[in-house]
Chain A
Amino acid sequence: MSGGVETVVEALGVGKRYGPTVALADVSLTVEAGESHALVGRNGAGKSTLVSLLTGLSKPDTGTVTFGGEPAPPIGDREAWRTKVACVYQHSTVIPHLTVAENLFINRQPTRRGVISWSRLRKDSRELLDSWHVDVDVDLPAGELSVEDRQLVEIARALSYGARFIVLDEPTAQLDSDAIGRLFVRMRELQDAGVTFLFISHHLQEVHEVCQAVTVLRDARHVVTAPVADLTRAQLIDAMTGETGGLTVTDAAERDAVAADAEDVLTVAGLSGDAFTDISFGLRRGEVLGIAGSNASGKHQIAETIYGLRAPVRGVVTMNGRPLPHGDVKAALRAGIGCVPRDRHHQGLVLGMSIADNAAMSVLDRMGPGGLAAPGARTAVATKAIADYDIVAAGPLQQADALSGGNQQKIVLARALGSDPDVLVLINPTAGVDVKSKEALLGQVERVRAEGKAVLIVSDELDDLRPCDRVLVLRAGDLVAEHEAGWSVGDLVADIEGVTHD
């Protein structure tokens, strides 16, 4: 409590062990009132453990947590915790089939004569949202809200419990850049109104944009806390990785261009489908092609259509001169397309199964005679994947949900490459993975390309597009621009956002 600035939350020397493993060791964190404090670190650095201690989901083994100088409430007293702190997770914590109003007042609905008063519920909700300038229809089922609105509703709900300290766990991961901009404006407004944020993000430029202080964790330990202005992006990366050098990704501009006479391995002609119309392009052997665009641009849908996860309305995808049947993943696999799908939890992995089962999932039919896929053979596939892709795991029989995001994504990539495809389709390959894993995953792209295969990368992250020979820009379902390797960030973003630049 120095210099008259009020401390909202203070963790002093907190530590947490799970069995033999130290998840957090002697970490201290002080968040001052009215600031936005960034918490960064690679997956497994201890961020989530620290958040769970700060939000009362678990109790520190050592050290103390205090709110405004007072000791934290007992772990079982959720009501008391709710008045101190709230966490808005990357994934939804609203109940999708209930209305926004009911979600806001769930389990504390206003009553009249002992029964729920729906009119008062709606009125109170409207007032609550209005007081924080959240423009959302309270009668809408919460599941129909956009990610952006859903986050605002969750923030408003947290504020209505009296909490003025809010943890945002990767709030920008699912937002496009317009929505991120609006979220940041909103965060600044709330800050002015006395709300304090702990902001978790993998995007370091966001930390610089919206936060005043930053704390870096690494390997369960506290590395540094400093004003954001005092640390450059490279210094932040160094602090996170414990190495110097920052993110190293092969830039396509630094290698030879694809031979001019390289033949097309995959062609897309006049393809129309969900959210995109009349798209045509070719993918040559040894080429890495990127597709950029906002979330609503239809870029994910194009990639999913090529892999057969969606059926196009019109047009044709040709692989090595042969047209692919519509909406048939099996046929796409057989024709030589491998894919890392958009969301590894939803489409990539069976989290309850072992690494071995996950890694072998798309090559089950080629493991033995008559469809036999013996455990030994599956384990061998996984053991090889663990070695080849540098997956940090206890062994091939470990369950996939016990791994960090980066390691999970490596399994999905290993599987996509398991069928030895000619074309690799990557959709948001580095979403929610740490810097090191990002390098490793993009390093695999370079290796695959060098083998003469073709890679299609669809991504929200500009870093992912660096290894691309060409980047196509999609806006509202149309191809609007093409950039050669060596593009400038400004030009690409201007095309993605549709900003006129003359």
Chain B
Amino acid sequence: MTEVQSRERRVHGTDRPERAFRGMGRLPRLRELALVPALVVLLIIGAIVNDSFLTTGNLISILGASAALALVVLGESLVLISGKFDLSLESTVGIAPAIGALLVIPSGFGTEWHAAAGIATILLVGAVIGAFNGFLIVKLKLNAFIVTLAMLIVLRGLLVGATEGKTLFDMPEAFFTLATATFIGLPISVWLALVLFAVTGFVLRYHRVGRSLYAIGGNREAARAAGINVDRISGLVFVVAGVLAAIGGLVLTGYVGAINANQGDGMIFTVFAAAVIGGISLDGGRGTMFGALTGVLLLAVVENLLTLAQVPSFWIQAVYGAIILVSLMLARFTGGKPQT
């Protein structure tokens, strides 16, 4: 039935001259700003309901708490724009720093590597996982949803197995630097996330690889016919997303101060929510880094408000989920585009 309907839409869309005047000019840029009013409203509400909300300390803690999420959302957004999916990022958030830590700490694999080598390994693990996902999905043409779902479970199991379910402590200070060290009052992790969002946003808008990504997500066949190396770029996106998730995991490790066997567990739902609320299309080919970032900030502010408002911890998940649903509906109406 959907096929019938979309065909009907298309058919009487093609001959309509009036469509010539839609979807042009500044409209796309306005859509990116769709969440800004919502953010402002939330900040005002927060300031009214709680005196300590609009303090520098609290705002910094919001940013610090959302840096890891932001990095994973960044990676997921790139995969989504290219028209694919990666659910396994949340497990990468756990396993990548865990492997790095186990190589370094005395109670780990016994290798007791230098901290720098451990951190380099964390990035490498993210890249290898991404490359493997990319290989299965792009080369073997397996379904991205099911492949990364399986990877999510496998990686989670590996993490539990490698740590025997225990929490890892005693990492060298270097593992925590990203989240604990500050620069002009903000944690390095926040600066890192901001810089990476800015660089990615720039590449998406100003570099051919970025434009290729939109073309691939919008119409793979057309991108191929235009000489874009679809397979290579699609595969590369998974690698980049894996590395970003690994960095996100490192940031989370520093923020928490340890690596739990369920680090990152359940995070992928928030990641998708932030991306979609931020205007990244699950169909591919659409969305901006600015939008994704506002999506992250919106969820971070909401979570902070719920904590400040002392919503009982047993209820916080239900409320949080409901707010994500409401945000999606709001984003639908302010953004105007169906989130199919």
A residues with a Cβ closer than 8 A to B are 17-21, 23, 43-49, 51-52, 57-58, 87, 89-93, 95, 106-107, 169, 220, 307, 309, 329-330, 332-333, 339, 341, 346-354, 357, 360-362, 364-365, 367, 371-375, 378, 392-395, 397-399, 401-405, 415
* Residue in A48, A348, A353 whose CB lies within 8 Å of B14: A48
- Rounded to whole angstroms, the CA-CA distance of A398 and B20 in the bound complex is 7
> 10 other contacts beyond A350-B285, A357-B215, A398-B23, with CB at 8 A cut-off?
A21-B18, A23-B16, A23-B18, A43-B15, A48-B14, A49-B16, A309-B224, A351-B218, A357-B214, A401-B13
Measured between beta carbons, the chain A residues less than 8 angstroms from B221 are: 346-347
In the complex, what distance in Å separates the CA atom of A261 from the CA atom of B2? Answer: 57
Which of chain B's residues has its CB closest to A23's CB?
A: B16
- How far, in angstroms, from A51 to B43 measured CA to CA in the complex? 50
| CB pair A49 B12 closer than 8 Å | yes
27 cross-chain CB contacts under 8 A: A18-B19, A19-B21, A20-B18, A43-B14, A48-B16, A49-B12, A51-B11, A57-B8, A89-B7, A91-B7, A93-B3, A95-B1, A107-B1, A169-B11, A350-B219, A350-B285, A351-B219, A352-B219, A361-B211, A364-B228, A365-B208, A373-B210, A373-B211, A392-B20, A395-B24, A397-B28, A402-B22
Given contacts A341-B225, A404-B15, contact A394 B20 (CB under 8 A): yes
Please tell me which one of the listed residues A21, A332, A372, A397 contacts residue B206 in the complex, with CB atoms under 8 A apart. A372
Residues on B with C-beta less than 8 A from A17 are 18
Q: Which of A346, A353, A399, A403 contacts B214 (CB 8 A)?
A: A353
Nearest CB in chain A: distance from B269 CB, A: 26
**In the bound complex, what is the Cα–Cα distance between A112 and B221 (angstroms)?**
45
Is B20 touching A330 in the complex (CB atoms < 8 A)?
A: no
* Alpha-carbon separation in the docked complex, A350 to B224 (Å): 11
B24/A23 in contact, CB under 8 A: no
Q: With an 8 A cutoff between CB atoms, is B226 at the interface?
A: yes
Q: 3 tightest CB-CB pairs across the interface, nearest first? A: A21-B18, A364-B208, A350-B218
- Is B4 an interface residue, CB under 8 A from the partner? yes
Point out the residues of chain B lying under 8 angstroms from A169, CB to CB.
11
Bound Cα distance A49, B221 (Å): 30
Residues on the A chain within 8 Å of B222, using CB: 341, 346-350, 361
B114 within 8 A of A: no
B66: Cβ under 8 A from any A Cβ: no
Cβ distance A394 to chain B, nearest Cβ, rounded Å: 5
Type the 1/0 row for B213-240, where 1 means its CB is closer than 8 Å to any CB of A. Answer: 0110011011111111100000000000
A397: chain B residues at CB < 8 Å are: 24-25, 28
- B22 A350 Cβ-Cβ under 8 A: no
B7, A402: Cβ atoms closer than 8 Å: no
Q: Quick check: B225 and A309 within 8 Å, CB to CB?
A: yes
- What residues on A are CB-neighbors of B31 within 8 Å? none
Min C-beta distance of B12 to chain A, whole Å:
4
Asked if A330 and B18 sit within 8 Å, CB to CB, the answer is no
Interface centre among B15, B206, B211, B223 (most CB of A within 10 A): B15
Expressed in whole angstroms, the minimum distance between the Cβ of B143 and any Cβ of chain A is: 15
Indicate whether B37 reaches chain A with its CB closer than 8 angstroms.
Answer: no
A361 pairs with B207, CB closer than 8 A: no
- Cβ A21 vs Cβ B17 within 8 A: yes
Q: How far is the CA of A401 from the CA of B4 in the complex (A)?
A: 18
Query: Is B209 among interface residues, defined by CB-CB distance under 8 A?
Result: yes
Interchain CB contact (< 8 A) of B228 among A89, A309, A348, A361? A361
Q: A357-B211, A398-B24 are in contact. Are A404 and B227 (CB under 8 A)?
A: no
Q: Is A57's CB under 8 angstroms from B12's CB?
A: yes
Q: Which of A45, A58, A341 contacts B12 (CB 8 A)?
A: A58
Asked if residues A92 and B3 are in contact (CB atoms below 8 Å), the reply is yes
Check if A394 sits within 8 Å of B16, measured CB to CB.
no
B338 to chain A, nearest CB (A): 12
Complex contact A18–B12 (CB within 8 A): no
Q: Roughly how many angstroms separate A168 CA and B219 CA in the complex, as a whole number? A: 28
B205 within 8 A of A: yes
Which A residue sits closest to B337, measured CB to CB? A352
> Per a CB cutoff under 8 Å, which of B17, B28, B215, B224 touches A23?
B17
- A47 to B14, alpha carbons, bound, how many Å? 10
CA distance A43 to B16 in the complex (A): 9
Shortest distance in angstroms between B8's beta carbon and chain A's nearest beta carbon? Answer: 6
A352 vs chain B, min Cβ distance (A): 5
Of the candidates A47, A107, A330, the one whose C-beta lies within 8 Å of that of B227 is: A330
Set B4, B227, B285: member contacting A353, Cβ < 8 A: B285
Give the contacting residue for A371; candidates B19, B208, B219; CB below 8 A: B208
Q: How far is the CA of A87 from the CA of B8 in the complex (A)?
A: 10
Q: Is the CB of A348 within 8 A of B20?
A: no
Chain B minimum-CB-distance residue to A44: B17
- Contact among A19, A93, A395, A398 for B18, CB-based, below 8 A: A19
B207 touches A44 (CB 8 A): no
User: What 1/0 mask marks residues of chain B from 279 to 302 whose CB sits below 8 Å from any chain A CB?
Assistant: 000000110000000000000000
Q: A350-B223, A357-B211, A393-B20 are in contact. Are A405 and B25 (CB under 8 A)?
A: no
| CB of B253 closer than 8 Å to a CB of A | no
